[in-house]
Amino acid sequence: MKNQMNAHDLLQAARHIPPPSQASAEEYASLCEILSASVTRSMLNSPHIAELIGGSAHQDMMAENHRNHGLFLCVLLRHYQAEYLVDTVLWVYRAYMSHGFQRLYWQVQLETWQNILQEHLSDKAYREISPIYQFLLHHQDDFARLSQEVHQESTNFHREFPI
């Protein structure tokens, strides 16, 4: 069993991800809409998609998440900052899990992104960008757990100090 990481540990690990070249970032950006649409199409073909996203009513929300993911990565790849990556991913997990998205959704989604990227990007761009996805996949349980701990702390704070 791997050790659980706290947010500081995740940040330190994210700082070791080498930023991609500008050429690879631009290649990703030029395909962003195609990539996110391909991920959505692939995931909608999964027989278990409703369970992964908290019901079939969330399909539009899932598609929007994939579009936002692509746009976020466009910015991150051009201007890599570990803090931006970790903080944003924690927020995304917290927001989507509060709507019923399951932990397994992120594994399936990130694996789908990797497959789609490998299919559409040049070998060089894929090699430079995939470490971010590998990091997210490797630490998905940590992100999910930490996002819920932060949510619980926030909820407890608002109960004690209502606005």
Reported as a single tens digit per residue, the pLDDT across 109-153 is 999 999 999 999 999 999 999 999 999 999 999 998 998 875 444
Residue in the block written with tokens 């700082």: 15
Residue 131: give the domain boundaries.
7-160
Token pair recorded at residue 152? 């619980």
> Could you give the C-alpha distances from 58 to 7, 17, 44, 46, 89, in angstroms and in order?
28, 32, 11, 14, 19
- Domain annotation covers residue 154: yes
- Domain annotation covers residue 111: yes
CATH assignment of the domain containing 89 = 1.10.490.20
Amino acid in the structure at residue 26: E
59 within 8 A of 44, measured Cβ to Cβ = yes
- Domain annotation covers residue 2: no
CA dist 115 and 155 (Å) reads 37
- Domain annotation covers residue 1: no
101: three-class secondary structure by DSSP: coil
User: Which pLDDT does position 66 carry in this prediction?
Assistant: 97
Please enumerate in sequence order all residues whose Cβ is within 8 A of that of 29, keeping only pairs 6 or more positions apart, or say none. 74, 77, 78
- Domain annotation covers residue 91: yes
31: three-class secondary structure by DSSP: coil
User: Which pLDDT does position 3 carry in this prediction?
Assistant: 79
- Domain annotation covers residue 99: yes
Neighbours of 158 (CB within 10 A): 10
Total domain count, the chain: 1
Q: Split the chain (163 residues) into runs of 10 and give each run's mean pLDDT.
A: 82 97 99 98 95 93 96 97 95 92 94 98 99 97 85 40 41
User: Which pLDDT does position 147 carry in this prediction?
Assistant: 87
Amino acid in the structure at residue 36: S
Beta strands in 26-159 (DSSP E): none
User: Which pLDDT does position 153 carry in this prediction?
Assistant: 41
User: Which pLDDT does position 2 carry in this prediction?
Assistant: 63
CA dist 13 and 146 (Å) reads 15
CB under 8 A, 24+ apart: contacts of 85-91: 85/14, 85/17, 85/132, 86/7, 86/10, 86/11, 86/14, 89/136, 89/143, 90/7, 90/143, 90/146, 90/147, 90/150, 91/147
